[in-house]
Amino acid sequence: MQPIKSIKDIPELDLFTGGSSVCAGCGPSMGLKLALKVLGPKTVIINSAGCMTLLPLFPNTPLKVSWIHNAIENAATTAAGARHGLDALGFKDMNVVVYAGDGATYDIGFASLSSTAIKNERVIYICYNNQSYGNTGFQCTTATPYGSETKTTPRGKENPIGNTNIHKDMLKLMGVHRVYCATASLAYPVDFLNKLNKAKERNGFSYIELLGTCATGWNFDPRYTIKISRLAVRCGMWPLYEIDDRKLSLNKEFKQLKPVDEYLQLQGRYKQLPPDGVTKLQSLVNEHWAQLNEFNAKRYV
């Protein structure tokens, strides 16, 4: 497969038509629309319960591909079952693709994801990471960044920080499963789609994590979805990198990161984060960025 060189090479194919009920500026739904351009019509999406579950609402669907919603914690193993079934029936050319939120991926569905990855099932797992349980109204998951306010980590007298946990390093965790892993951002669609094409060519499991920029939960003006998706990368909050055969490659390198504050200020969820919280978040970002640079083009996991 030829790599996509510029945005002009992105296929016009559109398998995600209008009429869905997602929020204005919804990043995850844009991600799916983009992804389907390279996944193509011979695709079955396995969805975990979350915001995207409401894309089809009986008897309508905006999707022109097959879709299975099973439950929240079992998208990976449902996909494994579908893969085995399709292979047995002779449909080896169908893509089995999970589209799951971070709650379903990092938390409640982690066991099912881990077992499917370690067995190297021929499945493309896309986690759209909106850093929250979005569908239930924006509660904290283990993907929620330090300092983010959520409905279950509200700021208050006793805790001005909001979420005090440091999120799981999921790429590293998936890396140790020795599968192809990558991060992606809506602001870099060429990078995202090339990663998907890579995953498509694998004869095994791949894990792609797309920043699921969420206007409603993160509380920003919906017109800024792409701007925020770009800033996340520029500030080092969401570095673009991949782990292939346990080796790390940074896909977007910057001499100097922008300060995280620039990213934080656009979002209501960080509005009241006190200065020491911002400092701590900045140091976490610096630490991660330094680590990625240190291991760039080297064995990482």
Chain residues that interact with ligand TPP, rule: CB under 6 A? 48-52, 72, 101-104, 130, 132-136, 141
Instruction: Put residue 268 in one of left, alpha, beta given phi > 0 → left and psi -120 to 50 → alpha.
Output: alpha
Closer to ligand TPP by CB, 136 or 164: give it: 136
Site for other proteins in 71-100 (CB under 8 A): 71, 73-74, 77-89, 91, 93-94
Contact between 39 and other proteins per CB under 8 A: no
Contact between 1 and other proteins per CB under 8 A: no
Pairing of strands 241-244, 180-184: antiparallel
d(CA 235, CA 257): 5
Closer to other proteins by CB, 67 or 289: give it: 67
The 114-143 contact track toward other proteins, x by CB under 8 A, reads xx----------------------------
d(CA 111, CA 117): 10
Q: Provide, rounded to whole angstroms, the least separation between the CB of residue 75 and ligand TPP.
A: 9
What backbone torsions phi and psi does residue 145 show, to the nearest 5 degrees? -70, 155
Nearest to 268 by CA among 154, 166, 185, 187: 154
Q: Provide, rounded to whole angstroms, the least separation between the CB of residue 77 and other proteins.
A: 4
Contact between 66 and other proteins per CB under 8 A: yes
Closer to ligand TPP by CB, 70 or 291: give it: 70
- Total residues contacting other proteins (rule CB under 8 A)? 42
d(CA 81, CA 96): 10
d(CA 281, CA 148): 10
Closer to ligand TPP by CB, 133 or 180: give it: 133
